Amino acid sequence: MQVITSADALRSVHRQSLLLGILALLLFILGDPHQAAIGFDSRFVLFAKEMLRHGPGFFPTTYGQPYADYNATSTLFIWLLSLPFGEVSSLTAWLPTAMAGAVIVTLMYRLVAPQSRTWALTSVALLLLSMTFVTETRSVSLDQMLAAVSLAAFYLAYAHDHFSAPRRHAGLLVLLLLGFAIRGPIGLVIPTGMLCSYYLLSGQWRRLISLGLQASLLLVLCIVALLLLAWVSGGEVFAHEVIRMQVTGRLDGTEGASSPLYYFTSSLGNYALAYPLAVLGLIAIVMNRRALSGPALKLVTYCLGAGLVVMVGLSIPQAKKARYLLPMLPMAAIIAAYPFAGVQGRVFAGLRGLMQGVFLIVPALLMVGLMVAQKRVDQPLPSLPVVFALLGVLQAVAVALLFKPQWRPAGLAACAVMALWASFILVFESVERDLYDTRSFTDNAMAMIDQSPAPLVLHGMGKDAKAIKFMVNLNRDLMPVFTQTAAELQNLGKPVWVVMDRKDYEQLQGTPAGDSAPTLSARFDKNDYVLLYLR
Q: pLDDT (tens digit, 9 = 90+) per residue, 149-201?
A: 999 999 999 999 999 888 889 999 999 999 999 999 999 999 999 999 999 99
Q: How many CB atoms lie within 10 A of CB 470?
A: 25
Give the span between the Cα atoms of 158 and 529, in whole angstroms: 54
- Alpha helices by DSSP H, listed for 325-407, are 329-336, 346-376, 384-401
pLDDT digits (tens, 9 = 90+) for 448-487: 999 999 999 999 998 988 999 999 999 999 999 999 999 9
Across the range 46-50, mean pLDDT stands at: 97
Element (H, E) at 531: strand 527-534
In whole angstroms, how far apart are CA 36 and each of 157, 270, 430, 432, 437?
41, 25, 11, 11, 7
Taking only the tens place, the pLDDT of each residue in 104-144 is 999 999 999 999 999 999 999 999 999 999 999 999 999 99
Query: In angstroms, rounded to a whole number, what is the distance separating the alpha carbons of residues 427 and 382?
Result: 6
What is the pLDDT, as a whole number, of residue 256? 54
Q: Give the confidence band of 28 by pLDDT, cuts at 50, 70, 90.
A: very high
Count the neighbouring beta carbons within 10 Å of the beta carbon of residue 206. 8
Residue 355: its pLDDT value, please? 98
Does the structure show a pLDDT above 70 at 257? no
- Per-residue pLDDT band for 290 (boundaries 50, 70, 90) equals confident
SS3 content of the chain, % helix, strand, coil (to 5): 65, 5, 25
Positive/negative CA dihedral, 12, 17, 22, 27: positive
Percent of the chain scoring above 70 in pLDDT:
98
Cα(477)–Cα(353) distance, rounded to whole angstroms?
58
Q: Is the pLDDT score of 250 beyond 90?
A: no
- pLDDT attached to residue 377: 82
- Helices 205-243 and 169-183 cross at an angle (nearest 10°) of 20
Mean pLDDT of 335-339: 98
pLDDT of residue 181: 97
Average the pLDDT over 37-56 and give the result: 95
Where exactly are the structural domains of the chain? 7-341, 359-435, 439-534
In this prediction, residues 374-392 reach a mean pLDDT of 91
* pLDDT, the chain, mean: 94
Residue 299 is predicted with a pLDDT of 97
- Please state, in angstroms and rounded to a whole number, the distance separating the CA atoms of residues 65 and 156: 39
pLDDT tens by residue, 73-99: 999 999 999 999 999 999 999 999 999
Report the pLDDT value the prediction gives residue 255, as an integer from 0 to 100.
56
> Looking at residue 254, what is its pLDDT?
54
**Cβ neighbour number for residue 258 with a 10 Å cutoff:** 15
Residue 318 has what pLDDT? Answer: 81
Positive or negative, the CA dihedral 304, 307, 310, 315 is negative
- Of residues 83, 81, 101, 100, the one with CA closest to residue 91: 81
Average pLDDT of 300-328? 94
| In the predicted structure, residue 222 carries a pLDDT above the cut 60 | yes
